Structure 1
């Protein structure tokens, strides 16, 4: 996402917040905090596992309201 050229000063880019929030949720996983894996496939597998864990928690969370 690029910054709008016609607006001076600080501008919040709308989708950037969503991406940064999602990445922070994935990095919250214990093994994703540091990069100690030898192969990129292992890091990708851990990120996939963290995404699966987040999704299953979201789907099984009781409805509020």
Structure 2
């Protein structure tokens, strides 16, 4: 979801920090609004 965070493409450090903050807010919002499921399934 957040491929942009894999490499630091931002010229300014505060832009990078903002992108990380937005990604964390997005992750937390998804956790709060969806039902919890395991990240892997045993077959």
Q: TM-score range by the shorter chain?
A: 0.7 to 0.9
1:48 maps to 2:26 = no
Deviation at 1:36, TM superposition (A): 1.2
Q: Rg larger in 1 or in 2?
A: 1
List 4+ stretches of structure 1 deviating above 4 A. Answer: none
Of residues 4, 25, 31, the one that matches 2:4 is 31
Specify whether residues 61 and 44 from structure 1 end up closer, same or farther in structure 2 by C-alpha distance, changes over 3 A only.
same
Measured in 2, the distance between the counterparts of 1:61 and 1:42 equals: 29
Unaligned stretches of 5+ in structure 1?
Answer: 1-27
Note the alpha carbon deviations across 1:9-39, whole angstroms, 9 max, x for none: xxxxxxxxxxxxxxxxxxx612101111100
Q: Aligned pairs, how many? A: 37
Greater RCO between the two (CA within 8 Å, min separation 6)?
Answer: 2
